[in-house]
Structure 1
Amino acid sequence: MPHSRRAFVATLGGVALSGCLGQFGESAGPGEEGDLESASLLLNFQPGGLHAHYYAALERGYYEAEGIDLEAIESGQGSDFSAQQVALGNTEFAITSGDQVLNVNSQDGLDLRCVSVVMQQGPTVVFTARDAFGEELTDASQLEGVTVGSGPGMVRTMTESFLDHHGVLESVEYVDSGFDTVQQLLAGEIDAAGGVFSDVIDAEHQDATIDVLPVNEVIPSYGHVVGVGESYLEENPETVRAFIRATARGAAWAHQNPEEAIDVLVDHEPELGEVRENQLDKWIAMSTEYMLSEAVSEHGWGWNEPEPWEATHETLEAGDFLESEVDPDAIWTNEYIDEESEYVGDYATVVSE
């Protein structure tokens, strides 16, 4: 593979077999009895709290129970990179973002499908530090004439669209704050920031009072999604269904056991021990606020709806983000979401118990 691989293979011998979510249960996996289908998962970024459920599913044997030998959970280099790699067939599964699924499908020769939506609403937010801003941020009109900073790419595109929707884009000074947005905000170098909800948690862990305006309320979109290359999808449909079932089960267990889930994550990624509470807060925010939706309650974990794809496509097209025409309704599918599975179809009920 053309990128570095960090493999973390779980030792399953000591996995407890008691408890509802702890039991392997019956497998509807892709292989014959005793056979495992090898696969790897490429994350969108370096492992952290937002990825806790994959490690939980691996450690607790849920992938194995579904007939999958998940050989590696690989550290990522961005959603654009993971989307390209899975479209090229260099990994079986990848965590990417809705905008990058659209972007990759606009490139010649690359076909990628979203088979499951992990983050049911977009993570982009506009936020301020109350002490530096001078007042609580409750309305976008308060941003008129201020300096707004963010990194490049989709966050900037979504933030600018949000500001434009509220009629304040032309009045702000928009600067590229790179990957140092939070620190520039807290230092008073910028008045407001465009970022994602995990940036807010980073700022709050530095004892700042942060006020937030969610961009998703204006521009519906999806955050993390599971991407699979078209050819792999056609050749391995049952493995894809099995992967979604196991991942949903891992998410349910991690939702109900957040402290233990972060312990599993830190066991695999010891350097995260120094920021354990930060990663815990990120997982709790993601699992309680971003993984659930009306679609999940009605259909199951990972369900796609057309509206967020269409809204994201419209935003990207307006920003000249796409290389060529792409049909937003052709890049996702719910075909591999097993609504009959307890941890998929009844996910919302399971995690509420």
Structure 2
Amino acid sequence: MNWLFGLTMLFIGCTQNASDTVISLQLNWTPEAEHGGYYQALEEGYYKEEGLDVEIRSGGSGVRVETETALQRSHFGITNADKLLSVREKGLKIIALLAPFQSSPRVLIHHKSNPISSFEDLSKAKLLILNNTKPFYRFLVNKYPKLKNIDTIPYNKAVFMENKQSVMQGYVNAEPLVFNKKGLPVEVLKLSEIGFNPYASLLICSEDLLKERPELVQKMQQASIKGWLKYLEDPTKGNKAITKLNPSLTDHITESANQLPPLMKSDSHFGDMKLERFEELAEQLIKVGVLEKKPAYDNLFLNP
């Protein structure tokens, strides 16, 4: 019986270890240029060079990246800085490891025929197509109270295309390119230009993973940085991998990737984060009721 018990335990041990050989990265949306550096690292073999077998998982509206990452159902995840602060206040112990987007790509999109040239002019819109539970919307209506009087509906590109007096949320390197390709001239207003500028597409992991496997975290950071730097230089391999998974991007992903360098420009090392940026963001989120109090900044981020 001892040999049978030993064989059984050996089998269990092997299956447990096998489940941990694949390192998972959970995206916050379907594969797009905003995730290009991670796919580039995969295609260039940078993760393998670090001894990592990385699996990138597509996201979507029903995927709770932060919860999956905090519970280590995924080793790593992607989120934005405002979401990071919000879920940490709710008790999720996750930490930011890399901030590719130093400037937020979030914009409000309007038809070129619509006489809007500033955020003050948004009060002329008849419909806002956006998620009115998001922090950026609360920031907007706090700064421009007249926007509270405009009806809102959830994100819907078809409605925006039909309604010339509507304004829609999006990313500067995504939806505007789609509309222009369809022959629908649009213009954008960047939220970063009015002071709402959280780091975007943060690479995150749980505090527990960092404590238990610091070498893994460091390897993931370094390989991901190499992937991003290569993607910004020549995104061909990353784009090919992305469009294979998301063919709808084929017509404009090259242009989308070409718009990323200014958004990722850093005055220090690529992807580094600064405490004062998080402090400013926290103050904004407290003011609009997203956060209840000043967060604890211990274990909030770890620069590569």
TM-score (norm 1): 0.72
Q: Does 2:140 align with 1:162?
A: yes
**CA-CA distance at 1:74 after TM superposition:** 0.7
Q: Note the aligned Cα RMSD (angstroms).
A: 2.5
Greater Rg by CA: 2
Residues 19-34 of structure 1: matches in 2 within 5 Å?
Answer: none
Residues 31-42 of structure 1: matches in 2 within 5 Å?
Answer: 38-42=22-26
Name the structure 1 match of 2:289.
320
Name the structure 2 match of 1:142.
121
Residues 1-12 of structure 1: matches in 2 within 5 Å?
Answer: none
Name the structure 2 match of 1:289.
262
Give the distance between the partners of 1:187 and 1:252, measured in 2 at CA: 39
**Counterpart of 1:213 in structure 2: which amino acid?**
L
Name the structure 1 match of 2:276.
307
Name the structure 1 match of 2:17.
none
Name the structure 1 match of 2:153.
177
Contact 1:147 1:191 in 2 (8 A): yes
Give the distance between the partners of 2:126 and 2:286, measured in 1 at CA: 26
Q: Does 2:176 align with 1:194?
A: no
**In percent, how many aligned pairs have the same letter?**
19
Name the structure 2 match of 1:61.
45
Residues 280 and 331 (structure 1), Cα distance of their counterparts in 2 relative to 1, 3 Å cut: farther
Per-residue deviation, residues 167-192 of structure 1 (Å, max 9, x unmatched): x4325633332120x33232126432
Q: 169-178 or 246-255, which moves further after superposition?
A: 169-178
Give the distance between the partners of 1:79 and 1:96, measured in 2 at CA: 14
- SS of residue in 2 equivalent to 1:144: helix
TM-score (norm 2): 0.83
Contact 1:184 1:190 in 2 (8 A): no
Residues 126 and 116 (structure 1), Cα distance of their counterparts in 2 relative to 1, 3 Å cut: same
Q: 228-237 or 276-285, which moves further after superposition?
A: 276-285
- SS of residue in 2 equivalent to 1:227: strand
Structure 2: gaps (5+ residues): 1-19
Name the structure 1 match of 2:10.
none
Contact 1:40 1:92 in 2 (8 A): yes
Match of 1:257 among 217, 234, 238: 234
Match of 1:90 among 67, 73, 78: 73
**CA-CA distance at 1:80 after TM superposition:** 7.1
Contact 2:43 2:237 in 1 (8 A): no
Contact 1:221 1:311 in 2 (8 A): no
Contact 1:114 1:226 in 2 (8 A): yes
Give the distance between the partners of 2:299 and 2:126, measured in 1 at CA: 36
Residues 164 and 211 (structure 1), Cα distance of their counterparts in 2 relative to 1, 3 Å cut: farther
**CA-CA distance at 1:82 after TM superposition:** 0.5
Residues 130 and 122 (structure 1), Cα distance of their counterparts in 2 relative to 1, 3 Å cut: same
**Counterpart of 1:101 in structure 2: which amino acid?**
L
Name the structure 1 match of 2:180.
204
Q: Say which structure, 1 or 2, has more relative contact order (CA 8 Å, 6+ apart).
A: 2
Please identify runs of 4+ aligned residues in structure 1 that moved more than 6 A.
none
Per-residue deviation, residues 59-81 of structure 1 (Å, max 9, x unmatched): 221001112121x1111134971
